[in-house]
Structure 1
Amino acid sequence: MSIYNKINAGFSLSTGAPVTSGIEDVIYIFNEDDITLTYDITNPLIVTGLTAVTSAKVYKFEGTNNSFNATSKLAKTQVGPRYTEEIDFNIAGLSVDVKTQLMAMGYGRVRAIVINNYKSSDSAVELFGAINGLILTDAERNAADETVEGGYKLKLTNPDKLKEPYPPRAVSIGPESGTATYASTLAAIEALAV
């Protein structure tokens, strides 16, 4: 009996470039339908291109002091493994504009790109919500919470019953001619960011 996928390599911890936890204090978020994704033809875990539909933009959220976190959790289902993807971050503000963005993330679906602190990997930059998108499931504001100065604590995650069929995708975008690098990937994302 054959299985759907087979392992094809091993790995070991690197002493030269040890794993580093956490993500950078920046998240790029865009509406699910605003950016078309291009995947590597030999590996669906790699996004090789982001193309804006008309004049769509990628929105950059910046934080400080490790205020952002990303999580991917495996869930075994009757049809195979699925992944719950979550991104936690804070917004230090409570203006009408902030509230409008919160409502949009709660009703519409978004995708998010995070940058891992661990850069010695082909997954230094990852995309969350590639297939089913993410929605805002938690938006908590405690006016007396001094850790976020009365701002919002937010959580983006997959919609109910719509887990991802793959772990977060690696984003690896090359220049027009040449091999993809960390720098070329960030440049491609920043070119779409507002």
Structure 2
Amino acid sequence: MSIYNKINAGFSLGTNSPITSGIEDVIYIFNDEDVTLTYDTANPLIVTGLTAVGSAKIYKFEGTNNSFNTMSKLAKTQVGPRYTEEIDFNIAGLSVEVKAQLMAMGYGRVRAIAVNNYKDGNSAVELFGAVNGLIVTEAERNAADETLDGGYKIKLTNPDKLKEPYPPRAISIAPDNGTATYASTLAAIEALTV
């Protein structure tokens, strides 16, 4: 009996560039139907292109002091492994414009890009919600919360019963004539932002 996937390499923990926890204080969010994804033909874990549909944009959310966090967790199901993906972030504001964006992320599906603090690997930039998208599942505001000055705590995660078939995808986008780098990947994302 053959298994669906087989391991094909090993790894060791590096001492030259030890892993670093956390993500940068920026995430990029876009409506799941607004940007077409191109995958590496040899490895479905790598996104090699982001193409806006029409005049669609990617929206940049900036924070401070480690106000964003990502999480991916394996869940064993009857049809194989699935992954729950989450992004937690804080919004320092409560205007009607902020509330409108929260409502949109609660009803429509989005995808999100996070930039890891650890830049040595090929997953420095990751995409969350590649297949099933993400929705706001928690939007909590405590007016007396001094840590957020009365702002919102937000959680984006997969819709109920729609976990991802893969862990977060690496994004690695090459310039027109060259090899993909961290800088070329960020430049491609920034070119689509508002």
TM-score computed with the length of structure 1 as normaliser: 1.00
Matched, 1:13 2:30: no
Taking the aligned partners of 1:156 and 1:30, their CA distance within structure 2 comes to 12
Fraction of identical pairs, as percent: 84
Taking the aligned partners of 1:76 and 1:177, their CA distance within structure 2 comes to 41
TM-superposed CA distance for 1:152, in Å, is 0.2
The corresponding residue for 1:88 is 88
SS in 1 for 2:101: helix
Q: For 2:16, give the aligned amino acid.
A: G
The corresponding residue for 1:126 is 126
Taking the aligned partners of 1:149 and 1:59, their CA distance within structure 2 comes to 23
TM-superposed CA distance for 1:53, in Å, is 0.3
Q: For 1:17, give the aligned amino acid.
A: S
SS in 2 for 1:89: strand
SS in 2 for 1:76: strand
SS in 1 for 2:191: helix
Taking the aligned partners of 1:58 and 1:147, their CA distance within structure 2 comes to 28
Q: For 1:11, give the aligned amino acid.
A: F
SS in 1 for 2:100: helix
TM-superposed CA distance for 1:159, in Å, is 0.2
The corresponding residue for 2:158 is 158
Q: What are the equivalent positions in structure 2 for 1:108-123 lying under 5 Å apart?
A: 108-123=108-123
Matched, 1:192 2:192: yes
Taking the aligned partners of 1:41 and 1:11, their CA distance within structure 2 comes to 23
Q: For 1:37, give the aligned amino acid.
A: L
TM-superposed CA distance for 1:177, in Å, is 1.1
The corresponding residue for 1:34 is 34
TM-score computed with the length of structure 2 as normaliser: 1.00
Q: For 1:7, give the aligned amino acid.
A: I
SS in 1 for 2:155: strand
Runs of 4+ in structure 1 off by over 4 angstroms are none
SS in 1 for 2:94: coil
In structure 2, the gaps of 5 or more residues are none
What do the CA deviations read for 1:114-148 (whole angstroms, capped 9, x no partner)?
00000000000000000000000000000000111
TM-superposed CA distance for 1:89, in Å, is 0.1
Taking the aligned partners of 2:103 and 2:61, their CA distance within structure 1 comes to 16
Taking the aligned partners of 2:5 and 2:177, their CA distance within structure 1 comes to 32
Q: For 1:178, give the aligned amino acid.
A: G
SS in 2 for 1:98: helix
Alignment RMSD (CA, Å): 0.4
TM-superposed CA distance for 1:48, in Å, is 0.3
What do the CA deviations read for 1:135-191 (whole angstroms, capped 9, x no partner)?
000000000001111000000000000000000000000001111000000000000
Taking the aligned partners of 2:156 and 2:177, their CA distance within structure 1 comes to 35
The corresponding residue for 2:169 is 169
